[in-house]
Amino acid sequence: MIFEGIIPPVITPLHDDHSIDEDGFAAVIEYMIEGGVYGIIVGGTTGEFYALSPEERIRQFQFAGDIINGRAQFVCGVNDISTAAACAYGEAARDAGADGLLVAAPYYSLPTEQENAAHCLAIDKAAGLPIMLYNYPGRTGVSMGEDYLDLVSKSPNIKAIKEASGDINRLHLLANNYPGIELSCGAEDQALEFFVWGATSWVTPMGNFFAEEVVALYDACVKEQNFVKARRIMAALLELTSVLEGGGQLIQCTKFACQFFDLPAGTVRPPLKSLPEADMENLRDVLTSARSDIQAILAEA
């Protein structure tokens, strides 16, 4: 399996009482598939996995598997604070028909490189599925360093790494020193740079509401090798990526953007709260401008 193309982490639409809106969940998945995404991650941070019960998470794997039904890569985020729980989620994902897993470091415990590698390899052994690593030290507290990568890369199931540290030097390290691990962009404002360095995929929450636009960037970079066009598309996205990445409200912004484009999203679960009205107004303007600019670029072809 190659992790390729646009692979968005899907939101979890909620009703006003914070229960999961499964019809809305299905609708967002259908929108993304129709928009040309290559894969969908279920159970990622954008999907508020940390606020879902174990029963809800496993049900979501099963439900998503039925909806996707082989039309896109089906990837499950199986992260948890304990190795035993993460392994159990990995097994549940496999049983639901997942094609691959997204595996980050267990948060809060701050494992060593060796401990973190053992955590990942335990999930690998339990589930036996292709794995995309997820390096996001800003959320987990630890980085997947060279000792870690040397240990886990011995497994044939370690296929890719979603690099979300924001450190451009990590991109150079991974591209040059670990060519056997596919590169996936996990930083919203660095997609162009990742594709220049040979990334095969982009894990972007913008796929929940900008599927056509982010697929167009992938196509320009990877299929057309037209980096002039790609740079123009990326430039049109930069104000939006700044809003998404810069305010600590990525999930709220993603859900608001979905609603702005008439896609079901609903509220967020506590401890998060909805966007303040001033932020909503700014995001409306940014979304409208970005879509208009990108559509104009695509209309030139």
Active site residues: 134, 162
CB atoms < 10 A from the CB of 281, how many?
11
Rounded to whole angstroms, the Cα distance separating 21 from 35 reads 21
Give start and end residues of each alpha helix (H) in the chain: 22-34, 54-68, 83-95, 113-127, 137-140, 146-152, 168-177, 191-196, 211-218, 227-246, 250-260, 277-299
- Per DSSP, 205 falls in state G
The crossing angle, in degrees rounded to 10, of helices 227-246 and 211-218 is 130
Rounded to whole angstroms, the Cα distance separating 9 from 105 reads 17
Are 134 and 106 in contact by the 8 Å Cβ rule? The answer is no
DSSP letters, 23-77, are HHHHHHHHHHHHTT-SEEEESSGGGTGGGS-HHHHHHHHHHHHHHHTTSSEEEEE
Are 48 and 84 in contact by the 8 Å Cβ rule? The answer is no
Query: Tokens 């990525």 appear where?
Result: 250
Are 165 and 190 in contact by the 8 Å Cβ rule? The answer is no
Helix (H, G, I), strand (E, B) or coil at 166: coil
